[in-house]
Structure 1
Amino acid sequence: MSVDPALRTLEIDLPARPQALVELSLLMAEEPQHPQRIAERVASDMALASAVMRAVNSALYGLHGRVQTVHQAVLYLGSSELLGIAYEIGLRAAFPSTAELEPIWRRATLRGVLMGRLAGLLDLERWSAHSAGLFEECGKAALVRHAPAHYPAMLRASQNDDAQLCQIERTGFGVSHDALGAALCESWGLAGTAVCSVRHHVQAVQTRELPVAPPRRGVLALSVLAATLMERPEDIDEVALALAGPAGLEPTLLLRSCRKLAEQQIWQSARRHPTPDA
């Protein structure tokens, strides 16, 4: 695909992490954790609290009855999922609102929830998994902001094939969205396992192999499983059994966890009722 050669020499700016998310991350890192303090911090920011409540009451989270307060939300969902919603809102707000980004954000929301819940069922670090899913395609958002006149055409040319898209991006910009997304994860202070998953997810999803050393394979395996649930749920047993050994996960537990999420079919609800915009 023909790209303006001048684009290849440009530096790509990454947005800074919002202060509210810095403070929430510090609260999440405390031992022991205090969920109500996290809820209080979210509730103290009127815009953030309003957006969180709209998201919590969307079909994706499947809560029975309408949640009225942020404190109720943290009781129903837990600190990790609440923080995931806050980060999703902060991430969306850091980039322009464009038609090209809407499907990216919808996938990010769903993938984050799937990976976080799988991690909870498998006794893995839930926030690392949720944030990895949420940030997986954020490099695309950075490129939309960097080259709004050129990058949408690259997205169309790739025909939803991320491996092909990475090749187009490297030709046009000298960097691909997976590497760019990992850099944003690092600058926002996400865990190393999340950074690793974002950096390697395109290759892992394409090959269904884990091109990293233990112990960083667990979250990356969840990325492949989430992609399978979202795109080819009929293949989930095959993929789970293939990844269990390399990821160091117990096969029976992994199968049971994947099937549990597959039965919930939360991604179908999300497609019918997208998460409200922030």
Structure 2
Amino acid sequence: MDLMNIVAIEGYIQTTYIAVYPDKLLLLDSGCRCDVDNILTYITEVLERPVAQLKTVMVTHMHPDHAGGAELLKQKTGCLIVSAKSKKAWYQGILGRLSHLNDLGLTYYVASRQGKSVANVWYNPILKVDVEVQDGDPIPSFEDWTVLETPGHTDRDLSLWHAQTKQAYTADLILIIRDKFVSPYLITLPHAYRASLNKVKALQPEIILLAHDKRAKICDKDFDRLMDRAPRKPRKTSLRSVLSTAVVNSRFARKRVKTP
């Protein structure tokens, strides 16, 4: 068995995890675009590795803090971008592009609540994926990790399971607020969300890696409470709020850092 350690890097609005092996690195989500330099600096200065050892970058779903850095990381390291197989792009069409602007605006909102300054979070809403994966597939170059399809937050969310250490990276499937496990605000598929929780619960993970917190232990009762309290109807962003947030976001866009 390869020796593997998981390290956490504080990102713009999320925690980004790297699975560290003796001769290669796996990024469990790409973080925001503005996180790329910090990720590469961590690799070269803290891990003391060449950036070419970053072999694979997972994208669990298309929101800015999970997909935003992927293409820039590929440009700088030559890594593979791996994400869910889907018939259409998440941000497809006019409404999709407006939703993309809305999500960028929400990213700035969360950053402002955390006391962060404006940074460049812009990224192409249509991701160019090198390898598409489905439920049960191994991660390319990291066959000790298994891909789990865990939709609910969006229609294509992935979680990542490392059976040897009984750790699961659950991205935005589960959040912690005031020391309690909660579902994300955006739930597009409530029935699928509960099924996804059940899928992870059945694996009996000893540790879950949270995108908006750190490592956490979780028990069956925690999963059951999440399923009981999760919304029964879809919680989606309305067209009105998308349009209004897009207008607000355009003001931030004028302040963006120059794209490298």
TM-score (norm 1): 0.27
Structure with more of its chain in helix, by fraction: 1
Greater RCO (CA < 8 Å, at least 6 residues apart): 1
TM-score (norm 2): 0.28
